[in-house]
């Protein structure tokens, strides 16, 4: 035990709460390696001691309010540091703007040192303790985090734990022939074992990076590279890997990072004869990391990147008694939303949302319309079959529509990882361009611009109606359009995801203050909706949520109830006026206009929505919005 250690009493108290489980799981995973476990415990104390007094104050506050991140006032923004403001100091200089957007959750995309020509957008890390030089330093990161904290904002950062760059120190020493470092990866003398793996392990990028192994000429051996040949998979069966990677994670926490996004979480344990996805040991590793963070830096959250449907994602939350990830991405809803935009048919989205609403309230999802990545069509094709939609032709229809090739489509996207042989491809584009705003502005047709902006705002209203934390992709708050300049960059030209990873246009951002502009219309509408959401407890994560049947397959209906507040929300995914055939008896009022509105046969103009509210145990009255009034 650790009683004889000259450790701080607070650390000992925290460790004692988890010690038995920590030791049991660690010993089971690493075959009773006591020396490795003792090192792990000593390492945790080292990082506890290095934690600043200010961060320890945050830890105490969050321990006292463990659900601090679950409120209806949480709003995230996702950004690439270089695209948004050049470097970390630039982001810091724009915190007033970020705060004006209502954001209190800032997600910085990968910014640790990576080779420029083999970085995969920063996901091939060569040094987990150094910021990419052109983006700044670790001290800049800590200063940005401190400024964010002073404004009540938290900071999220990606932690790429499945692999390192082939330029990482460990990889370089492995290439030099040091067996200790080769043992931190998966090295094989010939293709015999790799070929056995290939029988059961799916390929991530079969067209652009086929196979799961690459030849390392420096040592004449084969190394596992699940994603790209320059990304070497780490061997978490080696306790040194787990110990040192956890230390790297805690070092980020000590620089002020509040939320650790665990990249490619399901992949981190490899075992021959399996798909090397979602193995039980993955959950053990995440649980160990969860406990380590609770001991060293409680209040730090783990966000799991698990790209699967909700039923398969849920195990990564762990249990109430033994939690793993605090939050997970709601990937399926994003894909289903754009499917609905293309088909104008809400039945799949309704089916998918029913699955999400059936989950326990303690599960917190991150919801978004667009992220840094492509849109993959991992839809429920078994469900779609009943409507005559089969996978390959339906994917083609979706991609044709959202790239502007479909009938009556103003969407402007581009394909990613197109595989004509399998009839498969993913999709890229900004929210505004996929909503048709780009094409409408190019044509200069006012009614089309109005229609595209209405769709954009309606989709954001849907995002804000969901339980969990809504996250904006930086630029979406002003309706930023696709950036086609990536075609001219030889490093980026083959990756169409850069279409929606363009630089923040600060001249356009200034137009948010000019009435009538696209930027002003979208920014103003989103801020109003976000502030309404923060005012009403019915948007809390703990609210009951359900699907309402409007007897119209163009309209999605959602109900919410919490603490005497009842919300009915309807979203018209058709470009034409539609009627939600409902007949609710209570007196309702429109949350946006404040005007009374009956919840009976509701007419919804094309691409519009309505939030209807009623309250119980209170007199019916228009809700005042002091925050809105102050900005008027």
Q: Give the 3-state secondary structure of residue 590.
A: strand
Helices within 267-390 (DSSP H only) = 280-296, 310-313, 331-343, 347-357, 381-384
Task: Determine the distance from the C-alpha atom of residue 252 to the mean position of all C-alpha atoms in its chain, rounded to a whole number.
Answer: 19
Q: 280-296 and 34-50 are packed helices; what angle lies between their axes, rounded to 10 degrees?
A: 40
Closest CA relative to residue 253, chosen from 291, 287, 299: 299
Chain length of the chain: 632
The dihedral formed by the CA atoms of 439, 444, 448 and 450, expressed in degrees to the nearest 10 = 110
Please check whether residue 432 is in contact with residue 476, taking contact to mean a CB–CB distance below 8 angstroms.
yes
Which tokens in the block code for residue 613?
A: 């509210």
Q: Tell me how far apart the alpha carbons of residues 54 and 573 are, in angstroms, rounded to a whole number.
A: 48
Q: Tell me how far apart the alpha carbons of residues 252 and 239 are, in angstroms, rounded to a whole number.
A: 20
Q: Tell me how far apart the alpha carbons of residues 376 and 92 are, in angstroms, rounded to a whole number.
A: 33
Q: Tell me how far apart the alpha carbons of residues 122 and 500 are, in angstroms, rounded to a whole number.
A: 16
- Identify the helix (H) or strand (E) that includes residue 90: helix 88-93
Residues 6+ apart with CB under 8 A from 435: 341, 411, 452, 453, 455, 456, 459
Q: Tell me how far apart the alpha carbons of residues 21 and 215 are, in angstroms, rounded to a whole number.
A: 40
Our answer to whether residue 324 is catalytic in this structure is no
Our answer to whether residue 305 is catalytic in this structure is yes
The phi and psi torsions of 578 (rounded to 5 degrees) equal -135, 160
- Identify the helix (H) or strand (E) that includes residue 364: strand 364-368
Q: Tell me how far apart the alpha carbons of residues 182 and 189 are, in angstroms, rounded to a whole number.
A: 11
Which tokens in the block code for residue 358?
A: 């059936």
Strands (DSSP E) along 189-236, which ranges? 213-216, 221-224, 231-233
Strands (DSSP E) along 109-264, which ranges? 112-113, 127-131, 154-159, 163-165, 187-188, 213-216, 221-224, 231-233, 259-262
* Residue of 167, 233, 305, 424 marked catalytic: 305
Q: Tell me how far apart the alpha carbons of residues 83 and 81 are, in angstroms, rounded to a whole number.
A: 6
Please check whether residue 262 is in contact with residue 325, taking contact to mean a CB–CB distance below 8 angstroms.
yes
Please check whether residue 258 is in contact with residue 54, taking contact to mean a CB–CB distance below 8 angstroms.
no
Please check whether residue 560 is in contact with residue 569, taking contact to mean a CB–CB distance below 8 angstroms.
yes
* Residue of 263, 410, 441, 483 marked catalytic: 263
Please check whether residue 312 is in contact with residue 334, taking contact to mean a CB–CB distance below 8 angstroms.
no
Residue with tokens 């088909």: 343
Q: Tell me how far apart the alpha carbons of residues 424 and 391 are, in angstroms, rounded to a whole number.
A: 9
Q: Tell me how far apart the alpha carbons of residues 87 and 137 are, in angstroms, rounded to a whole number.
A: 10
Catalytic residues: 263, 305
């Amino acid at each position: 035990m650790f009683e004889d250690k000259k450790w701080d009493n607070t650390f000992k108290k925290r460790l004692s709460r988890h010690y038995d489980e920590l030791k049991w799981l660690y010993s089971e995973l690493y075959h009773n390696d006591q020396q490795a476990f003792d090192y792990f415990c000593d390492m945790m104390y080292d990082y506890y001691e290095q934690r600043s007094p200010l961060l320890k104050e945050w830890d105490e506050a969050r321990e006292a309010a463990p659900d601090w991140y679950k409120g209806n006032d949480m709003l995230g923004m996702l950004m690439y540091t270089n695209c948004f403001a050049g470097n970390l100091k630039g982001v810091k200089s724009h915190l007033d703007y970020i705060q004006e957007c209502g954001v209190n959750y800032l997600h910085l995309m990968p910014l640790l040192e990576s080779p420029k020509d083999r970085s995969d957008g920063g996901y091939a890390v060569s040094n987990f303790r150094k910021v990419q030089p052109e983006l700044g330093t670790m001290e800049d990161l800590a200063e940005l985090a401190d400024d964010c904290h002073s404004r009540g904002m938290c900071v999220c950062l990606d932690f790429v734990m499945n692999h390192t760059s082939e330029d990482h120190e460990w990889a370089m020493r492995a290439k030099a022939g040091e067996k200790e470092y080769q043992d931190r990866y998966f090295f094989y003398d010939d293709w015999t074992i790799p070929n056995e793996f290939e029988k059961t392990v799916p390929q991530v990028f079969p067209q652009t990076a086929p196979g799961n192994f690459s030849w390392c000429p420096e040592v004449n051996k084969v190394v596992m590279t699940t994603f790209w040949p320059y990304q070497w998979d780490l061997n978490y069966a080696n306790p040194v890997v787990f110990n040192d990677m956890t230390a790297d994670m805690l070092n980020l926490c000590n620089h002020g990072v509040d939320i650790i996004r665990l990249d490619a979480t399901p992949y981190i344990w490899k075992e021959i004869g399996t798909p090397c996805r979602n193995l039980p040991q993955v959950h053990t590793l995440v649980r160990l990391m969860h406990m380590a963070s609770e001991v060293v830096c409680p209040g730090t959250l783990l966000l799991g990147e698990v790209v699967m449907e909700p039923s398969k994602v849920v195990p990564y939350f762990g249990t109430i008694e033994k939690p793993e990830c605090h939050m997970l991405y709601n990937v399926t809803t994003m894909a289903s939303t754009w499917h609905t935009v293309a088909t104008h048919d809400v039945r799949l989205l309704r089916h998918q949302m029913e699955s999400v609403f059936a989950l326990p309230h303690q599960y917190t999802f991150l919801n978004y319309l667009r992220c840094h990545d492509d849109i993959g069509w991992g839809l429920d094709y078994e469900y779609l079959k009943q409507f005559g939609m089969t996978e390959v032709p339906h994917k083609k229809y979706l991609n044709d529509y959202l790239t502007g090739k479909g009938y009556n489509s103003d969407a402007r996207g581009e394909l990613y990882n197109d595989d004509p042989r399998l009839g498969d491809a993913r999709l890229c584009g900004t929210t505004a361009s996929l909503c048709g705003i780009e094409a409408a502005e190019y044509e200069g047709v006012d009614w089309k611009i109005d229609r595209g902006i209405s769709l954009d705002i309606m989709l954001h209203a849907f995002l804000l109606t969901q339980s969990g934390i809504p996250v904006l992709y930086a630029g979406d708050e002003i309706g930023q359009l696709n950036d086609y300049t990536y075609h001219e960059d030889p490093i980026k030209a083959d990756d169409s995801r850069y279409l929606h990873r363009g630089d923040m246009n600060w001249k356009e951002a200034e137009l948010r203050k000019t009435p009538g502009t696209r930027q002003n219309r979208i920014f103003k509408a989103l801020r109003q909706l976000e502030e309404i959401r923060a005012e009403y407890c019915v948007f809390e994560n703990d609210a009951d949520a359900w699907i309402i049947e409007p007897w119209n397959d163009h309209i999605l209906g959602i109900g919410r109830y919490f603490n005497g507040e009842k919300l009915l929300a309807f979203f018209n995914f058709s470009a034409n006026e539609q009627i939600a055939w409902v007949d609710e008896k209570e007196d309702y009022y429109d949350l946006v206009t404040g005007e009374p509105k009956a919840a009976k046969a509701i007419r919804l103009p094309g691409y519009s929505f309505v939030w209807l509210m009623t309250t119980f145990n209170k007199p019916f009255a228009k809700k005042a919005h002091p925050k809105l009034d102050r900005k008027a």
